[in-house]
Structures are given as C-alpha cells and as structure tokens.
Amino acid sequence: MKKIKSGKIRRKRFLISALLIGSIVAVSLAAVGVVYAVIIIRDLPTPDQFETRQISQSTKLYDRTGETVLYEIHGEEKRTIVPFEEIPDTLKQATIATEDDDFYSRPAFDWRGILRALWVDIKNLSFRQGGSTITQQLAKNVFLSSEKTITRKLKELVLAIQMESRYSKDEVLNLYLNQIPYGSNAYGVEAASQTFFSKSVKNISLAESALLAGLTKAPSYYSPWGSHLDEVLSRKDGILNRMAELGRITEKERDQAKKEKIKFAPPSLGSIKAPHFSLMVKEYLVNKYGEDAVMSGGFKVITTLDWSMQEIAERVITEGANRNESLYGGKNASLVAQDPKTGQILALVGSKDYFDTENGGNFNVAVQGLRQPGSALKPFAYMTAFEKGYPPQTILFDVPTEFLPNNSKCPIIPNFNETENDECFHPQDFDPFVGPVSMEQSLAQSINISAVKTLYLVGIKDFLVNTHKFGITTLNDTWRYGLSLVLGGGEVKLIDLVNAYSTLSQDGIRHNQTSILEISDDRGNVLESYHDNAEKVINQQYPRMINKILSDGGLRAGLFQNSLGLTVFPGYDVALKTGTTNDYRDAWAMGYTPSLVVGVWAGNNNNTPMQKKGTSILAAVPIWSAFLKEVITKYSSEPFNNPDPVEVVLKPVLNGQYISGLGIHSILYYVDKKNPLGPPPQNPADDPQFINWEAGIFNFLSASPRI
C-alpha cells in the first residue's frame, strides 16, 4: 500500500515539475517572440510614408567590355496618379477577381491562405507560396523587398494591419492600383493603360481591364510586347471566366470581351540596344532572382555580347531581310554567333526589327521560334553512321525510292509525275538523281535520298541521342518522328542548332551556352560569374570526319555553283551546311570555324512560306557570308583537326565500290545495319527496306546503262 502511495506521489511531483518547466519554456518562447516582434516592428515605416519611400535602383545590362550599356531595366518609374472614381469598375473587379476575391469582406490578411501557403512551404522546404491579400501586396511593393523570408512576411502582415487601420478598403485599393508595377516602367493603372493601349485608363474596355489585371503577377513575363503573348491573352480569358463565376460580369459580357481584338500600342522600351538579346537576359534574371529584385535591386550585369559584332549582325540582317523580301517574300531573318570554345553568345538578332510589330518583329525567332531545319540536321546522321563503323566512302544509291514498305498504296518504284500520296514517303532531290554516291559526297552535296537511307541505317533513336548530346533541346516527341526527320521533319531552335554546331567544331566537346559573364548587386557583391562547363560527348574522330567534309570547298562546289565564292574565306578553314524546308518556309546557313560559329535563319515570323526561289543558298547564305566576311579577321587562322586515317574495310561497298562479283546491289545486300562491320546478312530480304531499295537501283540502272 505504501509503495502504491509512494509511486503516486512521485508521479505527481514529476507532473508538477514538468508543468513548471513547460511553463518556463513557454514564457521564455513568448518573451523571445515578443522581443523578436518588437525588433521587427520597431524599424517599420508607417503607412503615411508613401511619398517618402526609398527610390528603387535600376538594373543595368552591359556588353562584355562593361562599357556599353545595352539596357537599363526600370531606371525610371512612369506613374500618373488618377482618382479612384476615374478607374473603371471593370478594372477594379478584374483586379479583385484575380488577386483577392474576398478583399472587401475580410481583414488585411487571409489567415487560411497563410496557413495553406505555410503548409506548402513546409512540404517543399522552401518559400514558394505567398498567400497575400491586396493589402499585403501593397505593403510589400511599397515598403519591402521581395525576399522570401519569415521576417519579411511578418513585416508585411504588420504593415497590412496598420494600413487597414488607417485607410478604408476603397482607399487601399486605390493606392494599390496607383502604385503596383505593370511592366515596361509603368507603375499604376494610368501609366499602364497609356503604355500598352495609348489611352487613358478611364476609357479602357472590359477585355483591356482583364488583360491589365493579369500583368501584375509577372510583369516581365506577361508583357504584351514580349514572347509570351499567347499566354497573356489566355490569362486575360481566365480572368474573365473568374469574373463571371463571381457574378461580377454576365456570361454575355464575358463572351463579348473574349472576342474583342485588343490593339496594342507599339513597343517603347526607351533606350535599348540588342533588344532581343537584352530581353532574353532580362527574362533569365527575373526567373532566377525575381521580378522585384531585377526591377529595383540595382544589379550590374556584364553580358557576353560583343557590341561591335552585334552592330554588324543587325546591319546584315536588315540588309539581307530587305533583299529577301523583294526577291522571295521573306520579310525576316535571325542570326546567332557563338564562341564555340566557351559557349558564350557574341551576337544575337531575333528578328530584323524588334519594333516592327506588323511583321512580328518583337518575336525572338532565335530563342523562341520552333522551325524545321531542313538539311541542317544531316551532319548528325552521318556522324552517327561514322560512329557505328561506316566509313565516309560508303556507297549509297541516290535513286527514286519509296521508304514505306509493304503498303499497296505505295509503289516500290515511285512515279514523281503522279500526284503524291500523303500515305507514302518518297522524297525528291533538288537536283537530278545521281545514282551511286559516297556518304561524304552525299553530305557535302546535301542529297536527300542517301541521307534518308543513312538515317535508316543508324536508327532514329541513336540519331536523336547524339543531337541531344550536342545541344539540341527539342526533338523530344519521338513517337511522331519518321525517316523524314533527317530532312527537317522536326522543329528546332536556332540558338540550339548553333550550340550543336559549336560542339562539332570542338571535336565533340560541348561548352554550356551562356549569355552572362558576371552579375553583381548594388553593393558590388558578385552573385554569379562565368565558369566554363565543358563535357566530351563523343569520340573526337567522328566530329572531325564531319568537319573535314563540310570544310572541303571542292566537295561542296557542285551544290553551290555560282554562289561558291560566298563560302570561301582565303586563309581560313570554314565549314558550312545549309538547310531548306520543302515548302520554303525556312532557310538556314550554319557555318563555323574552330573559333566562331554563326547560324542564320531566313523566312517569315508568321511561318508563311517564301517563294520557291527562297532556298538557303539564295536567302540565308548571303547574310551569313556578309557577317562572317566582316568578323572573321578578328580571329587568327586556325585549321580543323584532321581525323585519324580510316582503316580499309573488307566489304567493297564500305570502301567506295558499288560493283562486285555479286553484281550491283543496295548496301542492305552486304550489310546488317545492326552490325555493319560484321558478316553480311544471310537473308537480306528480311530487312523491310531491302525490296524497295533494290527495286529503285535496278530501275535506275535500266534507264542508265552507262553505269
């Protein structure tokens, strides 16, 4: 009995001690919290200090010398305060619908939103969610930074509460609409309306109200003058839907507003050089450091741009595009120049004229455009073939060939005089069929039939693996690609293609592409700086084989004919590959030395075709040549590295011989494509392409007995 009683006493004492300790800890934590809150609140501004708040510092972009200013981001705030009654109700309601739909019915903060955001942040171990009301956003934009910390969030809450104790809901909304940034230096709704619509905010429509309300989430990204206009308009429609759901507008009003075609004022970026490049860098900065930090953080950004080279690029693009428009109906062109030894972008022109909105000039074709590359992908198919063991002398037959086997709708021997069947695939060449041709001649002459056969031999999968290793970021929808891929049956970006050719020029060493040399903050602290990040992606032998072929002026002479002079630069090794899509929508010139890679695209930004004479040799090569002629003298002459000698292979077809004791056959008769250097296939007809390839050869030979 005593033991039981004694045990109860001990437990009671333990509970009392635990409660005492817990109380002390709780009081201590509360005291710390009070002290912390006092420290936070002590230095906070009051809501009356709107007119005396600190002026933000602009971010400046420089060329690689650090002397030429390319662009000053939000160096000056354009703002015109307008009375609350002059702001349309449609804009007020659109703003509330997208930012804080319970604005008028709840206090300065949304505790449910804060808890929800806190839960997401805890799960992700990062500050991703904000949960901010309009009042909180006003406090943050006026007085605080955009740093994602608990301290900043607490300050924001305190300021929001103070504001709503000082101002009515209408006054808070009025302050918000007259203070918030809308992009392009426009602060407040009046400046935004004048900037983007060239009219006072009191005269804007419902559709324009919804569009303006959508800009504040990310003013740079959602700028109507940027590269994301489709997303801007989609966001506008989403806000209209939300307004209808909340009963702020009728469904009829919503539908009419969706149909309205909004007319934007022409872009006005102030003083800006290399606009496509500068805005590309700005987007990178915003994505990494946040909108507010870039707008007001006073960053100094040294870019990789060579301003003297950029001036030449802009001039030759303007001259070349004007010439193409008069001759071929191609109104635009784009150029990217890159140092292949560092991955640094030296010049970038996204379109002929950024401010030519009628022809989509603000669209950055080099970075945003997905265009079919025509024959510009062929080098990577042949490189993959060399990697698998096919020598450059390997013989293929450039003869009429149907590549869709075992299909009754597709004749084994295609008749090009008949209407082409969309269910078949028998590509043509720009020049007459030549019969037997080596892989190196096929690449240099850009022959289509033999290129498709090469892709079949190496396989689409391995071909795509190499293109991605070399720097192509697209061509990921493998399910939709066929053998036409080597002729441009997929979409790429010019900036990626330049990176891939840069990797070729460096014998298979890829240097990560970059547009930044250094970023420092307003105190001079370096936030990031350039470091070369290189990776060897393939054995050097195979890119060297490609470089030798593409830099051989004699091999490409037959293709370029009268334009050959545009491709020759005395004293310099210059490789070149062109590409033209079948419908003449895209013309390409991809040329390089061991020290410089230059890619040019010519066409129309709206993807309409040029006239049939608008081939790469006539529309793109002259621009490329004009640029290289002026800049190549900046570099010392440097030859490409020669590949190692190719060992003689026992199979005659791999050594440039197409006639043997067995007669004349396609390569599939002698080679198992899974093991090209191994024994010949026991039954060549097992390959689904064999019958078609053989038929094409025998038909061609019967019509050309001299072979």
Amino acid identity of 342?
A: T
Q: What confidence score (pLDDT) does residue 645 get?
A: 93
- Residue 146 is encoded by which pair of tokens? 């955009």
**Segment holding 284, helix H or strand E:** helix 275-289
Domain co-membership, 79 together with 36: no
Q: What confidence score (pLDDT) does residue 107 get?
A: 67
User: Measured on CA atoms in the order 47, 50, 55, 58, is the torsion positive or negative?
Assistant: positive
Q: What average pLDDT does this structure show over 593-610?
A: 95
Amino acid identity of 319?
A: E
Q: Report DSSP letters for 204-248, one per residue.
A: --HHHHHHHHHHTTSTTTT-TTSS-HHHHHHHHHHHHHHHHHTTS
User: Measured on CA atoms in the order 479, 483, 484, 485, is the torsion positive or negative?
Assistant: positive
Residue keyed to tokens 């989403």:
238
pLDDT in tens, 424-465: 899 988 778 899 999 999 999 999 999 999 999 999 999 999
Q: What confidence score (pLDDT) does residue 33 get?
A: 47
Backbone dihedral angles phi then psi of residue 523, each to the nearest 5 degrees: -100, 0
Q: What average pLDDT does this structure show over 496-521?
A: 98
Q: How many CB atoms lie within 10 A of CB 142?
A: 18
Domain co-membership, 197 together with 242: yes
Sequence-distant contacts of 192-201: CB under 8 A, at least 24 apart? 194/78, 194/80, 195/78, 195/265, 195/268, 196/224, 196/264, 196/265, 197/262, 197/263, 197/264, 197/265, 198/265, 200/82, 200/86, 201/82, 201/86, 201/87, 201/88, 201/91
Q: Report the DSSP pairing between strands 332-339 and 300-303.
A: unpaired
Domain co-membership, 245 together with 311: no
Please, which residues bridge with residue 301 across strands? 61, 519
Q: How many angstroms separate the CA atoms of 294 and 282, rounded?
A: 8
Answer yes or no: are the C-beta atoms of 681 and 423 closer than 8 Å: no
- How many residues would you count in the chain? 707
pLDDT value at 581 more than 70: yes
Q: What confidence score (pLDDT) does residue 265 get?
A: 85
576: in domain: yes
490: in domain: no
Give the CA-trace dihedral at 139, 141, 145, 149, to 10 degrees: 50
Least Cα distance to 500 among 588, 604, 586, 597 occurs for 597
CA distances, 388 to each of 268, 354, 395, 449, 641 (Å): 54, 45, 15, 20, 21
78 CB contacts (<8 Å, ≥6 apart)?
Answer: 185, 186, 187, 191, 194, 195
DSSP collapsed to 3 states, 159-214? HHHHHHHHCCHHHHHHHHHHHCEEECCEECHHHHHHHHHCCCHHHCCHHHHHHHHH
208: in domain: yes
Q: Report the DSSP pairing between strands 344-349 and 332-339.
A: antiparallel
Residue keyed to tokens 């003689």:
648
**Segment holding 575, helix H or strand E:** strand 575-580
Q: How many angstroms separate the CA atoms of 618 and 333, rounded?
A: 13
CA distances, 44 to each of 37, 215, 270 (Å): 11, 29, 35
409: in domain: no
Domain co-membership, 233 together with 145: yes
Domain co-membership, 513 together with 581: yes
- Residue 694 is encoded by which pair of tokens? 């053989």
Q: Report the DSSP pairing between strands 78-79 and 186-187.
A: parallel
222: in domain: yes
Domain co-membership, 134 together with 221: yes
Domain co-membership, 179 together with 229: yes
Given 644, 661, 694, which residue is the final one in a domain?
644
pLDDT in tens, 209-266: 999 999 998 888 898 987 788 899 999 999 999 999 999 999 999 999 999 999 998 8
Domain co-membership, 335 together with 189: no
pLDDT value at 344 more than 70: yes
Q: How many angstroms separate the CA atoms of 606 and 192, rounded?
A: 27
Domain co-membership, 6 together with 100: no
Answer yes or no: are the C-beta atoms of 181 and 294 closer than 8 Å: no
pLDDT in tens, 34-72: 444 454 455 555 555 544 454 457 788 999 999 998 998
230: in domain: yes
Answer yes or no: are the C-beta atoms of 601 and 334 closer than 8 Å: yes
- Residue 688 is encoded by which pair of tokens? 């689904």
First to last CA, the chain: 118
- Residue 510 is encoded by which pair of tokens? 């890829």
Q: How many angstroms separate the CA atoms of 522 and 167, rounded?
A: 34
Domain co-membership, 145 together with 95: yes
Q: Report DSSP letters for 449-470, one per residue.
A: HHHHHHHHHH-HHHHHHHHHHH
Q: Would you place residue 156 in the very low, low, confident or very high pLDDT band (cuts 50, 70, 90)?
A: low
Q: How many angstroms separate the CA atoms of 562 and 614, rounded?
A: 16
- Residue 117 is encoded by which pair of tokens? 């955001």
Q: What confidence score (pLDDT) does residue 9 get?
A: 56
Q: What CATH number is attached to the domain comprising 601?
A: 3.40.710.10
pLDDT in tens, 81-96: 889 999 999 999 999 9
Most confident among 107-121, 126-140, 547-561 (mean pLDDT): 547-561
| Full residue range of the structural domain in which residue 323 is found | 304-370+509-538+551-644
Alpha helix locations (H) across 473-540?
Answer: 494-505
Answer yes or no: are the C-beta atoms of 307 and 63 closer than 8 Å: yes
Domain co-membership, 210 together with 166: yes
Q: What average pLDDT does this structure show over 662-667?
A: 88
101: in domain: yes
Q: How many CB atoms lie within 10 A of CB 84?
A: 13
pLDDT value at 288 more than 70: yes
pLDDT value at 22 more than 60: no
Q: What CATH number is attached to the domain comprising 233?
A: 1.10.3810.10
238: in domain: yes
Q: How many angstroms separate the CA atoms of 445 and 617, rounded?
A: 12
Q: Report the DSSP pairing between strands 586-592 and 575-580.
A: antiparallel
Q: How many domains does the chain have?
A: 3
Domain co-membership, 93 together with 222: yes
Give the CA-trace dihedral at 305, 339, 312, 553, to 10 degrees: -170
- By CB atoms closer than 10 A (0-12, 13-18, 19+), residue 206 is buried
Q: What confidence score (pLDDT) does residue 29 get?
A: 44
Q: How many angstroms separate the CA atoms of 600 and 62, rounded?
A: 24
